[in-house]
Amino acid sequence: MLHQASGQWKLGLMLALVTAACWATLPVALKLSLQVIDPLTLTWFRFAFAAVFMLLWLGRKRQLAPIAALGGRHRILLVAATVLLVGNYVGYILGVQYTSPGNAQLLIQLAPLLMAVGGVLIFKEHFLPGQWLGLAIIVLGLGLFFRDQLIGGFVSGDAYLLGSAIVALAALSWAAYALIQKQLLMRLSSQQVLTAIYVVSALMLWPLAHPSALAGLDALHWGLLLFCALNTLVAYGAFAEALEHWQASRVSAVLATTPLLCLLAVAAVHALWPSVIAPEHVSAVGFAGAALVVVGSALSSLLGQSKPES
């Protein structure tokens, strides 16, 4: 039996928007944090922080037992989801090193597109013609933005292509993780799934991390590091709950608004602190592409509601 959403689409929409806002601001914080800390240590800290918090939370609620009681098949799914999410985290943060936050955030939009296709193929979610049109517009928008960056000379070609390839692999890893997590919701709550993933991920990365490097951080970079860690909790908590109440294909469409929000976040930070982060160099064609991503997202999300759900 496959997981079915609760049908509370308004709640699912709100949670998906919270996730989008978190992911829009995360690349900026990551880019700044990478100035003083290596990618694996940063990723390990995010997982470890989330693991400790969720273990304390579920322990207080006495909800840890179901994780230990998982059967063999679901344990394999849980391990697979963990490996895929670690691949997404590490791949994305490595990609951010070679490109700007806005570029990386647009490239990672391959993830919700792939998740949408997976939702249709695996969970038999129905896509209406308006939603397919929306996805086509998203692809067109992404293509325009990428062409603008490469042809316009706003980014270094070699670095951009390398970063793009790494982020694309991270996107594929995330889409597979998301679909596996949706199936795991048949046996565990979203909080239990995430707790198990956080714990195993932190243990996997521990031998590769350098925790001693954290002692040399100043107040600003500690603040950024904690923001990245809290972002993990809020974003993935909201995302997992969104999948409980809304179809994976609908959630993915809303998440496609993240790139435009990220461009706005970069512009805001640069306006306030010009020396902290470089501005995004985007021409009218690039902004048109980003706008098309948002329009396509709205079409896929809203036109998919053939009738109100409650």
pLDDT tens digit sequence for 219-245: 989 999 999 999 978 887 888 788 788
CA nearest neighbour of 78 among 155, 183, 223, 4: 183
pLDDT in tens, 53-110: 989 988 888 877 676 666 777 888 888 988 998 899 889 988 888 877 777 887 787 7
Check: CB of residue 131 under 8 Å from CB of residue 303: yes
Domain encompassing residue 33: 9-302
Is 129 a domain residue?
A: yes
Is 156 a domain residue?
A: yes
Is 178 a domain residue?
A: yes
**pLDDT exceeding 70 applies to what percent of the chain?**
89
Residues shown for the chain: 310
Is 191 a domain residue?
A: yes
**Percentage helix, strand, coil, to 5, in the chain?**
80, 0, 20
Sign of CA dihedral 111, 123, 244, 193: negative
The whole-angstrom separation of Cα 268 and Cα 190 is 33
Domain count of the chain?
1
| pLDDT value, residue 310 | 30
Token pair, residue 62, equals: 């006495």
